[in-house]
A and B are shown apart, each in its own frame.
Chain A
Amino acid sequence: MAGETINLVGEVMTFINITPKEAFSIAGLGFLGGMLSGFIGSGGAFVMTPGMMALGVPGIVAVSSNLAHKFGKAMVGARKHSKMGNVDTRLGIFMVAFLLIGVKLAVYLNEHIFETLGKAGSNLYISLVFVVLLSGLALFILRDIFNPNHKKGADKPTGFAEKLAKINIPPMIHFKVANIRVSLWFVAIIGLATGWLAGTVGVGGFIGVPAMIYVLGIPTMVAAGTELFLAIFSGAFGAFNYALNGFVDIRLVLLLYLGSLLGLHIGANATKMVSELQIKLVMAVVIGMSAISRAFAIPKYLVDLHMANFSEGFASVLDLAATVTLYGGAIIGVLMIVRYIIGFKQGQKSNTQYDQLKGHSKRDSV
């Protein structure tokens, strides 16, 4: 499969030349991302986008192909989730308007950076956003794990959300399913931020869901359901806008599907066998390693842009470290999941044996 060439202002961009080895790597990446996404309930773009970049795919093509992949998956998944009644359609419609503005802004910025600074500039921008977003998120999850005052399943609005609900900036809107009354301006800010992140790195839910829970005080399940509804629009709109400029590589989308849809089911099944703490631990490890990986990749892009004076050899070693950290993090995450599943199955087995022994001894005593 030969690489396609696209003429862009100032640069000729070549898509990755996909050999059977690369095809297998992308499908495997899809499987890792899918399994992790099924397990921790997110889109998996935080592994798949940097993973594709590590394979040599330009950042903007990785983001846009991932958005197309996410959109198709969201369309299929929405059929299932719509039956659960966790979507606040009114909130979704209000947010979509601002979400699309955020996506459009992100697409414009990404394309502008690609056209002016080229592949290295675009990769640097995407990697910087990833480092800030993922390291912040990993720290947030770790704080959540080690915070002794943390209360499980706190669905009530937090103190901050309560304070926000009291701020009366018209128009104030009541959302029935989420059961909140909040200013449209706060909804607009969250919609814009979610859309911008979705369009920039293909990961919007990581900000959208916590913001809806902690800032607006929306119950967790409604926040997750509404985010899924929003993901269809952000994915479709983002992918369509990138496709209009020839950035979506259908081969990458299809190869990602091969692994991700299978991994998704396995990861989702594994959630029934583990505790909330174990899920958070996997999340913290994978997201943290992904953030470190992108930080390692930055010097190489700086050298390519002649913005730093590292030696080529040093930058290449760091680039290799970025690839190893990323894949290492994803593989450690998957191994942790497999270990939890084995532990659960062994526990089940020993419980059954104990029950059988108990039954035998009762019969003997009778």
Chain B
Amino acid sequence: MSGASKPSFLKTIIFLGLSVCAYLVIFSNIEQLNQFFLSKAVIPALCLMGTVIGIAFLYGTAISHVLSILGLQSDH
């Protein structure tokens, strides 16, 4: 358990909400998004990478904050 200060509850809720929204938006438009991402061009490939980074950041931060609040955050 890290010695770092715990993140605020509000921040945790914001990140959780944003990641849930991002997942819902992506999965409800998955047909169109997949058509775009699989069009074998540079811009769709870059957009796909951007989406992956965005989701990893939002969901990763949300999980990290939740576990921190529960006292389960690691320094790894």
The reply on B33 being an interface residue by CB < 8 A is yes
B contacts with A: majority SS = helix
Q: Are B76 and A244 in contact (CB under 8 A)?
A: no
Pairwise interchain contact A265-B64, C-beta atoms closer than 8 A: yes
Chain B residues near A4 (CB-CB < 8 A): 34-35, 38
Task: Enumerate A1-15 residues with CB–CB distance to B below 8 Å.
Answer: 1-2, 4, 6
B72 and A257 within 8 A (CB)? no
CB pair A244 B55 closer than 8 Å: no
Contact B49 A73 (CB under 8 A): no
Task: Map CB proximity to A onto B16-52 as digits: 1 under 8 Å, 0 otherwise.
Answer: 0000000100110011011101111110111011011
A246-B39, A248-B37 known; A38-B56 Cβ under 8 A:
no
Interchain CB contact under 8 A, A75 and B37: no
Q: Which residues from chain A contact B40 at a C-beta distance below 8 Å?
A: 244-246
How many Å from the CB of A154 to the closest CB on chain B?
22
Instruction: Check A243–B57 contact: CB distance below 8 A.
Output: no
A251 on interface, CB distance cutoff 8 Å = yes
Chain B interface size range: 35 or more
Total number of A residues with any Cβ neighbor in B under 8 Å: 37
Q: How far is the CA of A35 from the CA of B60 in the complex (A)?
A: 14
B72 to chain A, nearest CB (A): 6
Contact among A41, A249, A254, A265 for B26, CB-based, below 8 A: A254
Residues of A within 8 A of B49 (CB): 68, 71, 236, 239-240, 243
**Interface check B5, CB cutoff 8 A:** no
**A contact residues around B45 at 8 Å (CB):** 240, 243-244
Bound-state Cα–Cα, A71 to B30, Å: 21
The B-contacting residues of A in range 63-112, CB under 8 angstroms, are 68-69, 71-73, 75-76, 80
Q: How far is the CA of A68 from the CA of B60 in the complex (A)?
A: 15
Interface string of A238-270 (1 = CB under 8 A from B): 011001111011110110011001100110110
Name the distance in Å between A97's Cβ and chain B's nearest Cβ.
21
**Residue A316 at the chain B interface, CB threshold 8 Å:** no
The answer to whether B56 and A73 have CB atoms under 8 Å apart is yes
Q: Is A271 an interface residue (CB 8 A)?
A: yes
B59 & A268 in contact (Cβ 8 Å cutoff): no
Q: A4-B38, A240-B45 known; A76 and B57 CB under 8 Å?
A: yes
List B residues at the A interface (Cβ < 8 Å).
1, 23, 26-27, 30-31, 33-35, 37-42, 44-46, 48-49, 51-53, 55-57, 59-61, 63-64, 67, 72-76
Q: Closest 7 A-B residue pairs measured CB to CB?
A: A72-B56, A268-B76, A243-B45, A268-B74, A246-B38, A72-B52, A76-B60
